[in-house]
Structure 1
């Protein structure tokens, strides 16, 4: 698969790390969810509602759709870095990014790949859990995102250090009622 085939939603040379359920993340899939916009549309609103910011998703999630283990695995994979600008200026630490206050940050290709690996792992954990569909959010359930991640994981032409991915803040629905 060539780089041009995977670029999809891009801005310049940067892949928009998003899908149909993004920015500022609401459900556009047409699926029914138990909790509609449970974290609101701002970091302040999300905190007031008891939501947690997940770096794997780069999203505010209610407890029901937050996976502590997968988040920890993602965080501990390596010391991730973020930047405010595509030219690698304005470096942001994990802790700064994890405040959930940034609408957009740039990340290296390896982080995008790891996001996809861990999203597949998350989906499997959800399907094997007793909560099942009720802990699936509108980002995880989005077929376009699954297709996108499949292409990302098959990409072989990019360096893992390419700063070509944009993390966009999301506020997904939670608790899929039916697939």
Structure 2
């Protein structure tokens, strides 16, 4: 079943995202509506890290001294200046899972959010695979249409 919506926007705040039926998606590092999420794939991603039970570690700081949970991370989108850090390994696995998301979207009716459904994102992931050791920095997004 194909989706008819062409937007993956979840507003501009956690409150708006929740009101729109969105959930925080750790694979996307963004709030996404149901038609833009592949919940099974994201759950698998969340179990593919090097930590206990396959968890990934996220940090508030570049020095990696202040860990942050996924639940806490999800609420940080309201602070537009907030950034969090992940390992290069996280970024490599994110790219691999995004290629899977692109493939699965052809069959499961889900939409890949416009910011990631680009050749630019694929080229970016290619560079990540060639230099996987760098630390990754990101923010929490609500509008993945851009």
Shorter-chain TM-score: which interval? 0.7 to 0.9
Change in 2 beyond 3 A, CA 1:76/1:166: same
Q: 2:11 aligned with 1:40, yes or no?
A: yes
Q: Secondary structure at the match of 1:135?
A: coil
Larger radius of gyration: 1
Structure with the higher fraction of residues in strand conformation: 1
User: Which residue does 1:135 correspond to in 2?
Assistant: 111
How many residue pairs get aligned? The number is 133
1:89, distance to aligned residue in structure 2 (A): 2.4
Q: 1:152: which partner in 2?
A: 128
Of 67, 80, 89 in structure 1, the residue corresponding to residue 38 of structure 2 is: 67
- C-alpha RMSD of the superposition: 2.2
Distance 1:68 1:36 in 2: 18
**Are 1:173 and 2:137 matched, yes or no?**
no
The structure with the greater share of residues assigned to helix is: 2
2:76 aligned residue (101, 107, 117): 101
Equivalent of residue 20 in structure 2, options 49, 54, 57: 49
Contact persistence 1:38–1:49 (CA under 8 A): no
| Structure 1 unaligned spans of 5+ | 1-32, 175-179
Q: TM-score, normalised by structure 2?
A: 0.80
TM-score w.r.t. length of structure 1: 0.66
SS at match of 1:137: coil
CA drift of 1:167 comes to 2.0
Q: CA deviation at 1:53?
A: 0.8
Conserved? CA contact 1:59–1:100, under 8 Å: no
